[in-house]
Amino acid sequence: MNGTSSHAPQATSPVVELSGVTKEYPGGVTALRGVDLTIDAGELLAIVGPSGSGKSTLLHIVGTLDLPTAGQVTLAGHDVGRLSDRKLSALRAQHIGFVFQAFHLVPGISAQDNVAEGLLYSGLPRAERHRRAARALERVGLGDRTGHKPHELSGGQKQRVAIARAVVGEPDLLLADEPTGALDSASGEAVMRLIHDLNQEGATIAVITHDTEIAEMLPRQVRIRDGQVVHDSAARGPLGTPVRSDAR
């Protein structure tokens, strides 16, 4: 994310690119219909839509947690449809960090240990994982909470720990799924400020949300409805030039 990562994509290459992506489920349910989406390095965007719009499916596709029925997904230059499960898992671990509404912290262990979990498959020695975890907690403003366990933290602090865990491995893309959904307004605003700060430091971040107010706080909004992108404030023309998309 910060340009020092050995696996960061070239500036001219998209971090993630979806082309004609469709996702169908048994029973005739089509969650995504021919979605095209490009996320470039350094972007901060919202993927916004109401419940049932397809945004959660889009999150799973962008995050390579699921594969499309049709179309192509390219992550950091790799066609994910051509990878084995093992290689896909390694690619995901190397390139994507996830933040979820429910935090998903491990109870009974410290904030530092929770963040170090994000490096479990990195091959780094335990001491180095913990050193980097401490640094990540400093980065999100929790340098004085490294030894605190989840039950000793507020909701906003838990989400900061979850964000630290997601960014500790310097992934190319951070996917934040309703990151303020379980927080009060003050904690939610603090988390959004942190997301902006991380983006200013070079992180590429996509926030998935149903909240149009949160979406409008971000530089780019991708609106999805009935499995289709109906508006992209950074839509590009055939020569790559930005164009305005007014589809509703």
Tens-place pLDDT, residues 213-232: 999 999 999 999 999 999 99
The three-class DSSP label of residue 224 is strand
pLDDT in tens, 117-136: 999 888 899 999 999 999 99
For 22-33, what is the mean pLDDT?
94
Report, as an integer, the average pLDDT of 237-248. Answer: 40
Give the pLDDT of residue 239.
39
Asked if residue 209 lies in contact with residue 218, where contact means CB atoms within 8 angstroms, the answer is no
Closest CA to 247 of 215, 225, 219: 225
State the pLDDT at residue 235.
64
For position 115, what pLDDT does the model report?
97
CATH class of 14-232: alpha beta
Which pLDDT score is estimated for 120? 86
Which alpha helices (DSSP H) does 17-100 contain, by range? 55-62, 85-95
Give the DSSP per-residue string, 142-186: -TT-TT--GGGS-HHHHHHHHHHHHHTT--SEEEEESTTTTS-HH
pLDDT at 36 over 90: yes
Torsion angle defined by CA atoms of residues 96, 99, 102 and 106, in that order, rounded to the nearest 10 degrees: 70
Q: What is the mean pLDDT of residues 185-198?
A: 94
- Asked whether residue 205 carries a pLDDT value surpassing 80, the answer given is yes
Using one digit for the tens of pLDDT, what is the confidence trace for 58-96? 999 999 999 999 999 999 999 999 999 999 998 998 899
